[in-house]
Chain A
Amino acid sequence: MSATAKKQVHLAAQLPGIHNVTVWSDPRSGSQIAIDSFIRLAQTVERGRFDFFFLAEGLRLREHKGEVYDLDIAGRPENLTVLSALAAVTTHLGLVATVNATFNEPYEVARRFATLDRLSGGRAGWNVVTSYDAFTGENFRRGGFLPEADRYTRAAEFLTVARKLWDSWSESDLKADAVAGEFATSGAGRFAHRGQHFDISGRFTTPPGPQGHPVIVQSGESDAGREFAASDAEVIFSKHNRIDVAREFYRDVKRRLATYGRRPEDLLILPTANAIVADTDEEAAAYAQEVSRELVSPQTAIAHLEAVWGRDLSAYDPDGPLPGIEPEDDAHFLKGHSVFRKGRAETARQWRRLAEERNLSIRELVIEVGGRQTFVGSPRTVADAIDDYVQTGGADGFVLVPHLTPGGLDDFVDRVVPILQEKGVHRDDYTGTTLRDHLGLSAAPRPAGWGGPGRPPLGAASARPEGETR
């Protein structure tokens, strides 16, 4: 394909383990935990030449009114473990795990990502998140949580330390020279770090994989989050369901890159999205309508409202208007859900205004505010819309979250991807082997001489240390 003139559309896929994003009641809906589901979706999107497979993380089951929240899909694997398994049944697809920086330690996390990068031949990515409440902390030694400001400084320092650990081996440290009897150099893996959150030193066990550093992903929309992304991340995973808001976010984040000496193409912005494809636009629209109502059952609508209002609203009619009463600040009402982050009173005000403007019932309102970007239509319509969104500066591509597990992207891959390929905005085949290759990112910064195992040193395709058998 002569694709040179047009921006490429980057595509990724997520298999959701929580929230009301899949129609679990559909007879076609399979297990969200069985390995077959992960393999099936990953192999489907690899066939579609996607950049990566993505997993979110939540380290505690959500609770509502003091009990485990039971209305949405729930139950997920440990991310790096399942992605290591997927590395064995895929060959090119990037594998991106969300891993919290608040309830982990850098030595272990850096080691696990280096392992995934080795096992996958350079396909690892890390979505660095913090956590928003004390609730999750009750599962960990640290207990509780850190003040919000500290969570961000810890995350930044965590990443700094992880990079030191990845850089602690250079390629020439692993000799494996049987004749000379030298396996590794005596300095291999040596590191030391002293900072506000970490004071550690010693030797790191794991020479990094082909990418040196996994691709760093950020998700979070606050000003601090955007700065963190502009300075440190290579992909942003965002959520917008209006293109004007998406374009504004895109412009703002790309503008911030220059401050850190980076180019706009050094950070890709990939909002979460779904695609509902049918033979005709009309059929797709009807199905999309059905899906959105399936995703927000009457009970789910009330539960979401209760989360914001902080009080029992079970007496209200989901198909009626929003309650006239004011929210109460009961932080214990729904735990483990990001819905609190803006403050209840403000959120309630915004929701009520929106519902009045558009004459929305409770359920319609929850569908409206909870929705992700959804592309609906025939394969041609969907391909055109995605292309247009990317070409006009709304995003660099999308993380598609199918509404059915695991077959929800079959139609997209079989019917939309070929049109994107025809248009010259999506690769016909992989041109590289690492996730960095797929994303068009330059190699991670390295200590002098480092080229990464399995590939020649950058810019010096020859020089290999004597006795280096790799």
Chain B
Amino acid sequence: MTGTPDPTGTPDPTAVTNPTGATDPTGATDPTGATGTRGATGPEDAPAAAPGTTAAPLHLAVALDGAGWHPAAWREEGARPGELLDAVYWAGLVAEAERGLIDFVTFEDALGLQSAAFHLPDDRTDQVRGSIDAVLLAAHLAPLTTHIGLVPTTNVTHTEPFHLAIGIATLDHASRGRAGWRPQISSRAADAAHFGRRTTPQLTEDDVTDPESVSQPLRALFSEGAEAVEAARRLWDSWEDGAEIRDAATGRFLDRDKVHHIDFRGSGFSVKGPSITPRSPQGQPLVVSLAHATVPYEFAALSSDVVAVTPHDRPGAAAILAQVAEAVERTGRDVTERPLRTFADLVVFLDDEPGVAARRKARLDETAGAEFVSDAEIFTGTPTGLADLLLDWHSTGLDGFRLRPGTLPHDLTAITRSLVPELQRRGAFRTEYASTTLRGHLGLARPVSRYGRAG
């Protein structure tokens, strides 16, 4: 396994290492630039996995973070920097995303303060600092929404898999089947010092210049992350459907034959089970991960229902899909039984008039004092132009896109009020939600408990 937190960098203000590849908040170490040129050098003959442009449904997710993904976004007119840690701000954003019929929103998180350096804390005061727990935020938004999927990020290195599993199951109950989970490892020594019970590999400047080399010292954390997801999945299955029988005649509330110990033994922890939380509406909430290289592709193949990748053009997308398919093969995953949905991440700056978005980004760069670069391709342009791009890349076999708004709420509103109608006009995006669960939106079945199957 290789690859990991992608040091090609985006000013992801919360970025710590992600099990599937996170982002480098500096952007300064980006070896390829973020202009979309990297993908151009990729294999031109990569197989296009899907045919026609609009044959398969196109899915859209939105990645919410702070005031938007540009580090100067909080200083834009229309930003609400004093409210970034308060409920009402997030309620407004998610309501807007739901109006746009978006499949799901993700919430970034970390157990350390944001930093401009991938592997180290900093003392900067000119960027957004401070965050709230993403699972609790998502749960808070659940009763305020009805259809949109809610996908919080959690750390899996310093937390207890049992707590995480019951938290996400509870989110699924609270949202009536709209919970997802983005597990993320943490390699920062500073985060480890917040817990004081283990150390993590100390990365060097050299490590973080390349996604493949940064993944090497983190291999063990990734496999532990995969164990955390496996333990959670078993806990989610540990109550079969119908375990609660309320049989007044025998006085039994539970059928204990349908409630199972999981007896999970991992390299660094073990979990006896069963869960304290009954099986949730989706059975298995949706696991989403972000990946930039081989190690996180394998993590996704083992653990995820959706993998977000970061191609920079159409051939790059096809090449990455081929790598993901290889990882799936290596891990022996049966994708007929457990499909893996693929999304491409894009940072977007959108304005209706050509040229305006690029000028806006340039102005933000100037305010920030550095050009904004990212692990993901940065799109500046019109909603029509973005629709062209999405449909073009979609034809490689990508199931959808996770759009990271450059500024909030501006670029989110452009997605929901301009991009979505444009895609609808082209018959490429839903005109109403056809289901009420996140699995339903993505066309994924509700799995049967593994313990029930075992019989």
Contact = CB atoms under 8 A, between A and B. Distances in A.
Nearest to A114: B132
Given A85-B142, A108-B111, A139 B81 contact: no
A139 B163 CA distance: 9
Nearest to B258: A68
B111 A184 contact: no
B251 interface: yes
Given A201-B193, A206-B85, A139 B125 contact: no
Contacts of B446: none
B435 interface: no
Contacts of A143: 270
Contact of A68 (B135, B141, B163, B256): B256
B121 A202 contact: yes
B74 A178 contact: yes
Interface string B74-92: 1110010111111100010
A69 B175 CA distance: 29
Interface stretch (A72-80, A242-250, A368-376): A72-80
Contacts of A174: 82, 85, 130
A119 interface: yes
Contacts of B325: none
Interface stretch (B165-173, B334-342, B384-392): B165-173
A183 B85 CA distance: 12
A178 to B, nearest CB: 4
Contacts of B133: 80, 111-112, 115, 206
A287 interface: no
Given A81-B139, A119-B136, A178-B79, A203 B121 contact: yes
A35 B140 contact: no
Interface string B104-146: 0000001111000000010111111111110111011111100
The residue in B137, B197, B256 that gathers the most chain A C-beta atoms within 10 A of its C-beta is B256
Nearest to B235: A139
A201 B194 CA distance: 6
A280 interface: no
Contact of B129 (A104, A114, A188): A188
B112 A105 contact: no
A33 to B, nearest CB: 5
A291 B236 CA distance: 33
Nearest to A187: B123
Contact of A188 (B112, B130, B160, B272): B130
B170 A105 contact: no
Contacts of A77: 166, 169-170, 173-174, 277
B143 A206 contact: no
Interface stretch (A231-239, A294-302, A323-331): A294-302
Contacts of A112: 133, 136
A314 B248 CA distance: 19
Interface stretch (A57-65, A145-153, A350-358): A57-65
A391 B269 CA distance: 51
A207 interface: yes
A140 interface: yes
Contacts of B136: 80-81, 84, 112, 115-116, 119
Nearest to A100: B163
A192 to B, nearest CB: 9
B179 to A, nearest CB: 10
A140 B167 contact: no
Contact of A299 (B75, B85, B251, B277): B251
Contact of A33 (B141, B246, B250, B278): B278
B276 interface: yes
A59 B82 CA distance: 37
A98 to B, nearest CB: 12
Interface string B234-250: 00000100001010101
Given A78-B166, A184-B129, A138 B112 contact: no
A203 B252 CA distance: 49
B255 interface: yes
A338 interface: no
A313 interface: no
B272 A119 contact: no
Interface in A263-316: 297-300
Contact of B194 (A58, A118, A176, A200): A200
Contacts of A202: 112, 121, 190-191, 193-194
A183 B195 contact: no
B82 A70 contact: no
A415 B140 CA distance: 31
B388 to A, nearest CB: 34
B38 interface: no
Contact of B162 (A24, A70, A84, A139): A139
A68 B274 contact: yes
A431 B196 CA distance: 43
A76 B127 CA distance: 40
Contacts of B271: 138-140
Centre residue among A71, A76, A183 by max chain B CB count within 10 A: A183
Contact of A60 (B194, B253, B276): B276
Nearest to B81: A176
Contacts of B84: 176
B36 interface: no
B174 A85 contact: yes
A138 B272 contact: yes
B49 to A, nearest CB: 37
Given A68-B254, A115-B133, A300-B251, A78 B163 contact: yes
B259 interface: yes
Contacts of B123: 186
B265 to A, nearest CB: 11
A75 B276 contact: yes
A470 interface: yes
B143 A203 contact: no
B289 to A, nearest CB: 21
Contact of B270 (A25, A138, A189): A138
A120 B190 CA distance: 29
A78 B143 contact: no
A141 B163 CA distance: 11
Interface string A97-124: 0000001110110011011101101000
A214 B259 CA distance: 35
Interface string A14-29: 0001000000110001
B340 to A, nearest CB: 27
A75 B277 contact: yes
A103 B272 CA distance: 14
B246 A24 contact: yes
B75 A178 contact: yes
A82 interface: yes
A185 interface: yes
Contacts of B169: 77-78
B158 interface: yes
Contacts of A104: 160, 163
Contacts of A76: 276-277
Given A81-B136, A82-B170, A176-B81, A71 B142 contact: no
Nearest to B368: A181
Nearest to A191: B194
A81 B270 contact: no
B455 interface: no
Which one of B130, B141, B176, B256 has the highest number of Cβ atoms from chain A below 10 Å of its Cβ? B130
B143 A39 contact: yes
Given A78-B169, A178-B81, A205 B131 contact: yes
Contacts of B82: 174, 176, 468-470
Given A189-B129, A202-B191, A203-B113, 9 more contacts: A25-B246, A35-B142, A61-B274, A111-B133, A118-B132, A174-B82, A176-B74, A200-B194, A205-B111
5 nearest A-B residue pairs (beta carbon): A469-B82, A138-B272, A176-B81, A25-B248, A77-B170
20 contacts: A33-B278, A35-B175, A61-B276, A74-B253, A84-B139, A87-B87, A103-B160, A108-B111, A111-B132, A115-B137, A116-B136, A138-B270, A169-B130, A178-B74, A178-B79, A200-B193, A202-B112, A202-B121, A205-B111, A206-B131
